[in-house]
Amino acid sequence: MKHVFAALLLFAVTGAVAQEKNPVTSVVKEILPHQQKNLVAAAEEMPADKYAYKPTEQQMTFGHLVLHIIGANNHLCSTIGGVPAPSSPGLKETDEKDKLVSALKASFDFCNTALAKVDDSKLSDQVELFGGRKGPRAFALIALTNDWADHYSAAAMYLRLNGMLPPTAQKK
């Protein structure tokens, strides 16, 4: 969540938001490629034999985390863009790494397409959120960026617990 507020503050300070016709949706669209790059890189970095890794018995496996990100992207971007979510290929957390990474990339491609269809004039439109609850489209946009930050944080922790540096901690 700090990343979202930092990005919004940066845009406000530089004047980019003040000049932008659609400041909220434009910022989300600007955040997307950065989060896409980091989340895909984290999924690619984790070795295939570590996709079954989970830090504690109560936590999800890394494969489940990737599957969760795919589902969240498809659901929220569908809701935000007002377009049907891609058909589910019947993925499982135990699927091969390449299959999960490919589906993760496809979920971000879908988000790019779906988010292109929305602007700030639609922020107050009521959409179906989670569990049939209704709320403004703005809620779904904020939930999406929060999810990306949360999911990257979890992926980074899993990588570090396995002796690897997450993408954003690696030397350029």
For tokens 């000049």, what's the residue?
Answer: 19
Using alpha carbons, list the distances in angstroms from residue 66 to 40, 53, 89.
Answer: 9, 12, 14
Domains along the chain with CATH numbers: 2-169 (1.20.120.450)
What the block records as the tokens of 2 is 């700090």
Task: Please tell me which residue, 115 or 9, carries the higher pLDDT value.
Answer: 115
CA dihedral 98, 102, 107, 111 (to 10 degrees): 140
Which amino acid, one-letter code, is at 53?
Y
Given a cut of 90, whether residue 1 has pLDDT beyond it is: no
pTM for the model = 0.87
Given a cut of 80, whether residue 8 has pLDDT beyond it is: no
pLDDT tens profile 135-166: 999 999 999 999 999 999 999 999 999 999 99
Any alpha helices (H) in the chain, and if so which ranges?
Answer: 2-14, 16-19, 23-45, 62-81, 97-115, 137-161
